[in-house]
Amino acid sequence: MEAKNKYFERPWLKFYPEGVPESVEIPERSLSEVFDEITTKYSKKTAIVFYGNKISFKKLRDDVDRFATALYELGIKKGDKLALYLLNSPQYVIAYFGALKVGATVTPISPVYTSIEVKHQLEDSEAQSIVCQDLLYDNVEMTGMDLKNVILTSIGEYLPASRKLAGKSVLGRIYGNMGVPSPKILERSGFHQFQKLIKQYPPNPPKIEINAKEDIAALPYTGGTTGLPKGALLTHYNLLACQMQTQAFWPILEEGKEVIPAFLPFYHIYGQVVAMINGLTQGSTLILFTTPDIEEIISAMERYRATVFFSVPTAFQFLKDYDKTSRVNWKRLKIITCGADTLHESTVADWERRTGSKILEGYGLTECSAVSHANPMGRSKVGSFGVPIPGMMAAVVRPETTEYVPPGEIGELLLQGLNVMQGYWKRPEDTKETLIELDGKTWLRTGDLVSMDEEGYFYFYDRQKDLIKYKGYSVFAREIEEVLTQHPQVKTAGVFGVPNPDVGQIIKAIVVLQTEARGKISEEELLKYCEENLAHYKVPKILEFRGELPKTDVGKVSRRELREEYEEE
């Protein structure tokens, strides 16, 4: 009982900054209503800057309304799924909010997905219509699926004339193996061109009644860490709750006054909610990037006077050593946040020395609409992903028994809040395992191993599936990766367990060296470094050098892919 009370006393509330409430009252409103209200209020203000092309909230609202009208006339009705297979672009925003206006559910597909992955999501989500980047269409064609509506769009449709050629060349380098379909494809039944729909239909969308707490706004798919990806059911209310909770935690951010570099991918829940939804429903200006070109981002941040910076660990690891990073006065920014993966303490130290500014690390996942924790302004702790944001409850339990563990002990993180999903789409068993009843309340099991200190700050150790069992010891892959990346000659590392009948699992580390160190440092030297900095049972038994490591959509080292590679050997 004493351990349980430590969480229910919510010790973190003592460290909320002045003006941050304990909880937030969430109105039962649809995201469409909020979008309409803010676009009316800030109609003359710039909503999006896309490589120099400024789009006002009035123009954005007009295009959204026109697209919503088009969707309705194409037969897309309330409850239908609309897949978005797009890069970051104004079209993404227009299609997203246009779909919500007709009561449809958006299911975002990662642009790096193969045709097999695209097919799984289309079939599983039951999406019959898709808005697709023209250069990605080959993957849709290869699914062999007969879709009712295919709406194609080109990246150049919203680029200023001076950037159209440059835009195509950048995308060509990244998606060089993808071909743009012939214009004749638009002659096929059910095929449409995005911009023509905008011009053809008036801005008179139907009035659709939305039940904010029941109607599903978004069906994002988890990364597939166990089996095939699953769709998380997020209502309008869930997404609005996350927006209002994060806004309450950061009162320094003012409605209608912020400028946000939006390079985090919108198909990922972090970019979709924290940058796109939060930004636009607060009247912020998004400096929108199709690809995360650091030089472009740095230049635009100075040109447009960015006020916040939402990013991921890989970007900070690059920026701390980048020669042009100092062109931005980072101390002028209101907030610099990091999420989607663990931020190494060495990166934090190097960043603070370089810029004189602090990174506020946070935590979240698709199943809670993006955010559950963040470090308070003025009282962040290095190594911690912070405290629960207003309206969130968190606890740590033993995974096997769901018994509460005392502060300082490691267990599985449980979450409770209005931003938590309704369940997994068509996965009742997975939902039952993930949304559990404990003490008369419904909790989300995250599968993440964490601890909470006496002050209510939380610390990440590993995903449960990444825990390595060696001779009865529990070894955290993240801890070994942290030590390896502190070596000055190591750029990045991935650690995972290899099955072994004698000891359970042996530890394998795959290391990417800094360019100048390649061929100059041996496996033996690096293993000796590990022996000096790790307990004997945590030292890798196998160490391999590579030129690069597989990454997830947001730049995490993909341990799952490393394990799968080993199993296929």
Return the CATH number at 131.
3.40.50.980
Distances (CA, A) of 194 to 68, 199, 217, 225, 357: 12, 9, 21, 34, 42
Q: Does 382 lie in the same domain as 304?
A: yes
Residue with tokens 């006077």: 305
Helix 31-41 to helix 236-249 angle, to the nearest 10 degrees? Answer: 50
Residues 176 and 303 occupy one common structural domain: no
Say how far apart CA 552 and CA 85 lie, in whole Å: 17
Q: Are the C-beta atoms of 270 and 554 separated by less than 8 Å?
A: yes
Per the CB < 8 A criterion, the answer to whether 277 and 286 are in contact is no
Q: Which of 265, 262, 298 is nearest to 280 (CA)?
A: 262
Q: Quick one: DSSP state of residue 373?
A: E
Q: Are residues 244 and 383 in the same domain?
A: yes
Helices (H), ranges, 250-396: 269, 278-280, 294-303, 313-319, 345-355
List phi, psi (to 5°) of 338.
-135, 135
List all residues 6 or more positions away from 211 whose beta carbon is below 8 Å from its beta carbon.
Answer: none
> Residue 524's domain spans which residues?
471-568
In 10 A of CB 459, how many CB atoms?
Answer: 17
Q: What is the mean pLDDT of each run of 10 residues along the chain (569 residues)?
A: 90 96 96 98 98 97 98 97 97 98 97 90 98 95 96 92 60 59 87 97 96 98 68 98 97 97 95 97 97 93 97 90 94 94 86 95 96 96 96 96 95 97 95 94 95 97 84 82 90 90 88 90 91 89 91 78 79
Do residues 477 and 449 share a domain? Answer: no
Residue 169: per-residue pLDDT: 53
> What are the Cα distances from residue 539, in Å, to 114, 297, 463, 464?
36, 39, 19, 20
**Per-position b or e across 145-159, b if 16+ CB within 10 A of its CB:** bebebbbbbbbbebb
Question: Which amino acid is present at 161?
Answer: A
**Is residue 355 a part of any domain in this protein?**
yes
Q: Same domain, yes or no, for 531 and 409?
A: no
Residue 416 main-chain phi, psi, to 5 deg: -145, 130
Tokens 């190494």, residue located:
344
Task: Please indicate, yes or no, whether residues 331 and 402 belong to a single structural domain of this protein.
Answer: yes
Distance CA 33, CA 39 (A): 10
The predicted pLDDT at position 227 comes to 58
Co-location of 275 and 387 in the same domain: yes
DSSP H stretches of helix in 82-188 = 90-101, 115-125, 137-141, 164-174
Distance CA 375, CA 364 (A): 12
Judge if 435 and 512 occupy the same domain: no
The verdict on 527 and 435 lying in the same domain is no
Domain assignment present for 43: no
**How far is it, in rounded angstroms, from Cα 351 to Cα 337?**
12
User: What is the distance in angstroms between the CA of the first residue and the CA of the last residue of the chain?
Assistant: 49
**If we measure between CA atoms, which residue out of 405, 538, 402 comes closest to residue 474?**
538
Structure-token pair, residue 333: 């920014």
Q: Residue 569's pLDDT is what?
A: 65
Same domain, 250 and 376: yes
Strand partners for 412? 397, 449
* CA distances from residue 409 to 71, 403, 454 in whole angstroms, order as listed: 52, 12, 11
Residue 465 phi, psi (nearest 5) = -70, -20
Indicate whether 382 belongs to any domain.
yes
Which of 462, 494, 528 is where one domain is finished?
462
Please tell me the number of Cα atoms within 13 Å of 12 on its side-chain side: 33
Among 55, 40, 192, smallest CA distance to 129 is for 192
Domain assignment present for residue 526? The answer is yes
Beta strands in 136-279, from DSSP E residues, in sequence order: 149-153, 191-193, 216-218, 234-235, 259-262
What are residue 494's phi and psi, to 5 degrees?
A: -130, 130
CA atoms within 13 A on the CB side of 411: 24
**142 and 188 within one domain:** yes
Which residue type does 272 have? Q
Whether 228 maps to a domain, the answer reads no
The structure tokens listed for 306 are: 């960015």
Is the residue at 425 inside a domain? yes
pLDDT given for residue 283 in this prediction: 98
Domain assignment present for 220: no
Residue 395 near residue 373 (C-beta atoms within 8 A): no
Residue 225: predicted pLDDT: 39
- Domain count of the fold of the chain: 3
In a domain, 325, yes or no: yes
Of 407, 439, 462, the last residue of a domain is 462
CATH code of residue 307: 3.40.50.12780
Give yes or no: residues 130 and 93 share one domain: yes
Element (H, E) at 2: helix 2-8
The half-sphere exposure of 105 on its side-chain side, counting CA atoms within 13 A, is: 24
Taking every pair of Cα atoms in the chain, the longest distance, rounded to a whole number of angstroms, is 70
Domain boundary among 402, 427, 462: 462
Confirm if 537 and 471 have CB atoms less than 8 A apart. Answer: yes
Distance CA 239, CA 264 (A): 17
The helix/strand/coil state of 46 is strand
> Taking the model in full, what pTM does it have?
0.89
CATH at residue 551: 3.30.300.30
